[in-house]
Amino acid sequence: MKIGCHVSIAGGVENAPQRAADFGCEVFQIFTRSPQGGKAPEITAEVAAKFKSAMDEHKMGECIVHTPYFINFGSANKRIFYGSISIIRQELDRASILGAAYVVTHLGSYKDLGPKKGFAQLISGLERALIGYKGSARLLLENAAGAGEIIGDSFLELKNIIFSPKLKKYKLGICFDTAHAFASGYDIRSAAALSKVLGEFDKTVGLENLKVIHANDSKIDFAGRCDRHDHIGMGKIGLSGFRALVGNPRLQKINLYLETEHDRVKEDIKILKKMRKVG
């Protein structure tokens, strides 16, 4: 289990490994483009070489890429739907050029189309994004916080997506966000509670498909159905929940990525590393 956080690519993606090292990261997550939209900066062979060299120099164990926020496979707006397909494929290709292990994405909302039509469109969109893909980065679906008709807030729904007949051959994985899970009604505040949740995940999705953990405390109460991250030990999950997470024997090969504000993210990393050492 390695520990890191999301870092900026300001000044060029090749600067990210140095920035991650400055935070005390062993692994890190990036956007390869603005999360709000706009043209993506080109990742040339030279840029990729500099990035990989910096990864080696700073002894980074893994890099993962997060897709922009505007991805929505449940949108009735065809520009957004087809744009989501295009962005997923682009980010998989860009991540592969950089040597990143995974691309993590949210899926959007069924608000426009409703669950039945929305699910069919979601499966179709993901399939379009993945057809003919030959890169090395693997696509991970992130569990959602369960607000409104958001897609992917339950383990059962994630299972239905990754094992759907059109998608199962692509071997999609899961990114488990602690704050999102907690807000969606999965109690992880103690070792016993976490063990129960992991058992449910294993039975439904399979723990072998859990590849990445976003380690975020929650400003929102249990089952509050809202996405608000907090610093480790300062939210409603609390230190006991993260102590259980870091110490759980079933999670020892899965890396943790913080997405907390940078004012205290160094401290968050230190807290998790201390828990790992004690565990």
- What does the block give as tokens for 9? 């690519």
**152, 141 in Cβ contact below 8 A?**
yes
- Distance (Å, rounded) from C-alpha 137 to C-alpha 15? 20
E-strand ranges in 178-231 read 210-214, 217-218, 229-230
CB within 8 A of 128, min separation 6: which ones? 85
Q: Which three-class secondary structure state does DSSP give residue 102?
A: strand
- Distance (Å, rounded) from C-alpha 36 to C-alpha 165? 32
Burial of 47 (0-12, 13-18, 19+ CB in 10 A): middle
- Give me the pLDDT at residue 215, please: 98
**229, 271 in Cβ contact below 8 A?**
no
Range of the domain at 36: 3-278
Q: From residue 111, how far is each of 82, 85, 97, 161 by CA, in Å?
A: 17, 18, 35, 18
Query: Angle at which helices 114-130 and 78-98 pack, to 10 degrees?
Result: 40
- Give me the pLDDT at residue 77, please: 98
Q: Which helix (H) or strand (E) holds 103?
A: strand 102-105
- Distance (Å, rounded) from C-alpha 193 to C-alpha 114? 32
For the chain, the domain total comes to: 1
pTM above 0.85, yes or no: yes
CATH code for position 112: 3.20.20.150
- pLDDT beneath 70, residues of the chain: 279
Quick count: other Cβ atoms within 10 Å of Cβ 160? 16
Q: From residue 153, how far is each of 58, 90, 156, 190 by CA, in Å?
A: 36, 25, 9, 21
- Distance (Å, rounded) from C-alpha 41 to C-alpha 51? 14
- Distance (Å, rounded) from C-alpha 75 to C-alpha 199? 33
